[in-house]
Amino acid sequence: MTQITIKGFADQIGIPPETLLRQLDAAGIAAKSADDALSDDEKEKLFHYLRASHGGGDESAAKKKITLKRKSTSQVIQSTRTGASRTVQVEVRKKRTFIKRTAVEEVPAPTEEAPVEEPVEAAVAAPSLAEAPVSAPVAEAPVAEIPAAPKVEPAPPAAKPAIKPAPAAPAKEVKKPHKGKKERLEKLEERERGQLHLAAGKKLRRKVKHVSSRPVVTSVTGQHGFERPTAPIVHEVALPETVTVAELAQKMSIKAAEVIKVLMQMGTMVTINQVLDRDTATLVVEELGHVVKEAKPSSPEDLLAAPTAEAAAEAEPRPPVVTVMGHVDHGKTSLLDHIRKAKVASGEAGGITQHIGAYHVETPRGVVTFLDTPGHEAFTAMRARGAKATDIVILVVAADDGVMPQTVEAVHHARNAKVPLVVAVNKIDKPEAQPDRVRQELTKHEVVAEEWGGSEIFVNVSAKTGEGIDKLLEAVLLQAEVLELKAPKTGPAAGLVVEARLDKGRGPVATVLVQRGTLRKGDVILAGREYGRVRAMFDEKGRQIKDAGPSIPVEVQGLSGVPSAGEEVMVVESERKAREIALYRQGKFKDVQLARQQAAKLSDVFEQLKEDEGAKTLNLIIKADVQGSIEALTVALEKISTPEVKVKVVHGMVGGITESDVNLAVASNAVIIGFNVRADSAARKIIEHQGVDVHYYNVIYSAVEEVKAAMSGMLSPQIKEQMLGLAEVRDVFRSPKMGAVAGCYVVEGVVKRNRPIRVLRDNVVVFEGELESLRRFKDDAGEVKAGLECGIAVKNYNDVKVGDQIEVFERVEVARTL
């Protein structure tokens, strides 16, 4: 057993020997001097005494300690920068430990009250804490863990009266300025440090927590959360066709007065509810430094855009969609039929392929979807509606016939739509087939075979024997691989109407080509101006199916009406929303039609030029009576290109202006030039409907001059020809006086005497002159209306034939408005 002197032990524990002697005395250990030895037993006795006197190890001390825990939750409504509000749950947890003082404690009673003040103040501040916009919802009150420490903890609410000197004290403290608070805390810290025997540099944990800066309490400080942005915020403003001043201001997050001010500076006085067109609104938006984003023409449409964009899942490879084009009788239908019969119905017991406007075939290398309406009319009609359905064009050219006008036309259509070609050199089974001639002829039109150093794939096929068809499909899939066609498979479907009709038994039926997402039976769809729930879906084999993914055509039933081919189809979350948008579109239809009439106008070229920065292209479509005229016009017109305006002939062909030409003009925003040709009645309807600009000439010089003048903004007053009437020649008889007299039926308008006329054969002008005599039965007539028969004699023209048309027109001067 080791022995140590009292002095040595006092040195060891760092207290004066006198103090140790006093403590030993109190512990009942008899010791005379500091040099006396201290046994281990004595040390242990002293230790027990000291522990007891400090409360540790004493059972009764633990009982005198009360710990209270309290938790309160509250909600704070906090507004974010964007103006939206959110609710923050604030949980305040408090733990209070109260130790009842024992008689041995030396701290005088009055000073005991001081530490109480702080916690009470903290308790007062607690409600305001709850209002603080803190993201971490827990605000923890101080917790002291030193069991023997006297007076550390505030009294729990229940014990408050027992230790609080005056009830008014906390309230007084709260009112104190913050400066005083710091001083008080310092004082308190000092005092407690003495009590707790803390080292001088060491801070009191509890206190530090209290002084630590809490998040700024908005309601208390009076500051608000908005900070003035340092850089101007540029909004992307989606502009519909029309917008009111108030709406426009809201879109830019400014006051309507600002918009009115800008418009006033532009010289336009407007009111807050005035409707502005998109052009004016664009000017305002740009003037205010924001960016314009084009929006669909109606507001419910905006509702549509958001969820579909969000729902866009990751894109996955999808099958190519193919359109077959080519000259008449080159075998488009035969090719499509052969593929359908050989591939779609193969292996099906009694499988009857249905014509639904599109079908898909499965090949060992992948799926190919065909749009089943051959020819470029359907293709361009869809494009004219702004729909892009086709990924690849199969150009069918009969090897025994070679490149023909419509072959060239198809090339132009595909090129304009930037759709790649795969050339199917058809009828290879025929002995007179010359596939290389086709390759050679196509080089003239910049379609060069791969084997000849070009980039186009040519495949020799026979729609009759089926030779080369598999190779053709492979070539299509190869081309598709290059294109890297992708679409998301999941999410709500969107697609296009390929064709639609009214079925007697089934009501409106539409073939929909799904372009992204998956269309399911039961989905609510919106197809242009029609809507409905998909009651049933069928594939090209007439089988009911439940869903269809990207590039798959399906026939759907359940629409409210018959939509037009080329119209967009999309799945909408509810029938109510679909109906709302469909009705809105129906009402808006007229406005949209009007907006569509903003097709290219020769007279606008100069104006647009001023607005657009950079070079502009004036697209022209030339239809003429002979090939020579097309070539001459193309050269002459393209030559007048300037650095600002490039004149480009996108399509030139012999013959009258057809529906397909007009659709191409709409799709490629082109002006049509008819040289000694006229538009047929179907084309005239679309010209009128779509507001396509068509100019007729019979002298190359005047065409060139007028285009030149339009480009320089110096168009002179225009002499416009107005068609008065159109008569069809049903019979021709000879009169000794007049020569050939045409027995006609007036099909359109009014035929008037003494007016200039043109004789048209297949919409090509064959004669221009004057109407010599107009008769109804045997009498002279001033005019003959549509639906009546008449006899027409044309001055100096005796070559009129049955089937010709006689166009009666007049010339009017139209002042050009810029």
When asked if residue 462 is in the footprint of ligand GTP (CB under 6 A), the reply is yes
Here the tokens at position 425 are: 């050199």
How far is the C-alpha of 809 from the C-alpha of 698, rounded, in Å?
15
User: CB of residue 333 vs ligand GTP: minimum separation in angstroms?
Assistant: 3
When asked if residue 577 is in the footprint of ligand GTP (CB under 6 A), the reply is no
Choice from 96, 207, 278, 330 touching ligand GTP (CB under 6 A) = 330
User: CB of residue 243 vs ligand GTP: minimum separation in angstroms?
Assistant: 47
Choice from 427, 516, 684, 695 touching ligand GTP (CB under 6 A) = 427
- The helix or strand, by DSSP H or E, that contains position 525, with its residue range, turns out to be strand 524-527
When asked if residue 329 is in the footprint of ligand GTP (CB under 6 A), the reply is yes
Q: Which stretch binds ligand GTP (CB under 6 A): 282-290, 421-429, 472-480, 617-625?
A: 421-429
How far is the C-alpha of 492 from the C-alpha of 574, rounded, in Å?
12
Q: Which stretch binds ligand GTP (CB under 6 A): 462-470, 692-700, 787-795, 805-813?
A: 462-470
When asked if residue 115 is in the footprint of ligand GTP (CB under 6 A), the reply is no
Query: What DSSP line would sit under 643-704, residue for residue?
Result: SSEEEEEEEEEES-B-HHHHHHHHHHTEEEEEESB-B-HHHHHHHHHHT--EEEES-HHHHH
How far is the C-alpha of 507 from the C-alpha of 490, rounded, in Å?
29
Q: Is 54 annotated as a binding residue?
A: no
421, 475 contact by CB (below 8 A): no
User: CB of residue 334 vs ligand GTP: minimum separation in angstroms?
Assistant: 3
User: CB of residue 332 vs ligand GTP: minimum separation in angstroms?
Assistant: 4
Choice from 323, 407, 426, 668 touching ligand GTP (CB under 6 A) = 426
User: CB of residue 378 vs ligand GTP: minimum separation in angstroms?
Assistant: 12
Q: Which residues contact 45 (CB under 8 A, 6 or more apart)?
A: 27, 28, 29
DSSP state for residue 149 in the 8-state scheme: -
Select from 362, 368, 335 the least CA-distant residue to 347. 362
In this complex, which beta carbon is closest to ligand GTP, that of residue 406 or of residue 676? 406
Q: Is 376 annotated as a binding residue?
A: yes
Three-class secondary structure of residue 560 per DSSP:
coil
Choice from 430, 577, 596, 648 touching ligand GTP (CB under 6 A) = 430
Q: Is 167 annotated as a binding residue?
A: no
Q: Which stretch binds ligand GTP (CB under 6 A): 83-91, 210-218, 283-291, 322-330?
A: 322-330
Choice from 115, 119, 154, 326 touching ligand GTP (CB under 6 A) = 326
Identity of residue 623: K
Q: Is 224 annotated as a binding residue?
A: no
User: CB of residue 330 vs ligand GTP: minimum separation in angstroms?
Assistant: 5
User: CB of residue 635 vs ligand GTP: minimum separation in angstroms?
Assistant: 31
Per-residue x/- track, 463-502, ligand GTP (CB under 6 A): xx--------------------------------------
- Bridging pattern class, strands 568-572 and 524-527: antiparallel
In this complex, which beta carbon is closest to ligand GTP, that of residue 462 or of residue 511? 462
When asked if residue 402 is in the footprint of ligand GTP (CB under 6 A), the reply is no
Q: How many CB atoms lie within 10 A of CB 194?
A: 10
In this complex, which beta carbon is closest to ligand GTP, that of residue 256 or of residue 392? 392
Strands (E), 560-640: 568-572, 616-624
- How far lies 448's CA from each of 55, 410, 440, 468, 546, in Å? 103, 15, 8, 19, 44
- How far lies 206's CA from each of 132, 197, 731, 762, in Å? 21, 15, 114, 101
Query: How many residues in the shown chain lie near ligand GTP by CB under 6 A?
Result: 16
371, 357 contact by CB (below 8 A): yes
User: CB of residue 475 vs ligand GTP: minimum separation in angstroms?
Assistant: 17
Q: Is 338 annotated as a binding residue?
A: no
How far is the C-alpha of 620 from the C-alpha of 815, rounded, in Å?
23
Q: How many CB atoms lie within 10 A of CB 390?
A: 25
How far is the C-alpha of 370 from the C-alpha of 386, rounded, in Å?
19
In this complex, which beta carbon is closest to ligand GTP, that of residue 464 or of residue 596? 464
Choice from 374, 468, 492, 553 touching ligand GTP (CB under 6 A) = 374
In this complex, which beta carbon is closest to ligand GTP, that of residue 251 or of residue 330? 330
Q: Which stretch binds ligand GTP (CB under 6 A): 69-77, 207-215, 383-391, 458-466?
A: 458-466
Three-class secondary structure of residue 520 per DSSP:
strand
377, 410 contact by CB (below 8 A): no
Choice from 151, 332, 383, 412 touching ligand GTP (CB under 6 A) = 332
Q: Which stretch binds ligand GTP (CB under 6 A): 163-171, 326-334, 339-347, 633-641?
A: 326-334
Phi, psi of 607 (to 5 degrees): -60, -45
Q: Name beta bridge partners: 395.
A: 325, 423
In this complex, which beta carbon is closest to ligand GTP, that of residue 431 or of residue 505? 431
How far is the C-alpha of 788 from the C-alpha of 242, rounded, in Å?
46
Residue list for the binding site for GTP? 326-333, 372-376, 426-429
Binding residue numbers: 326-333, 372-376, 426-429
Q: What residue ranges bind ligand GTP (CB under 6 A)? A: 326, 328-334, 374, 426-427, 429-430, 462-464
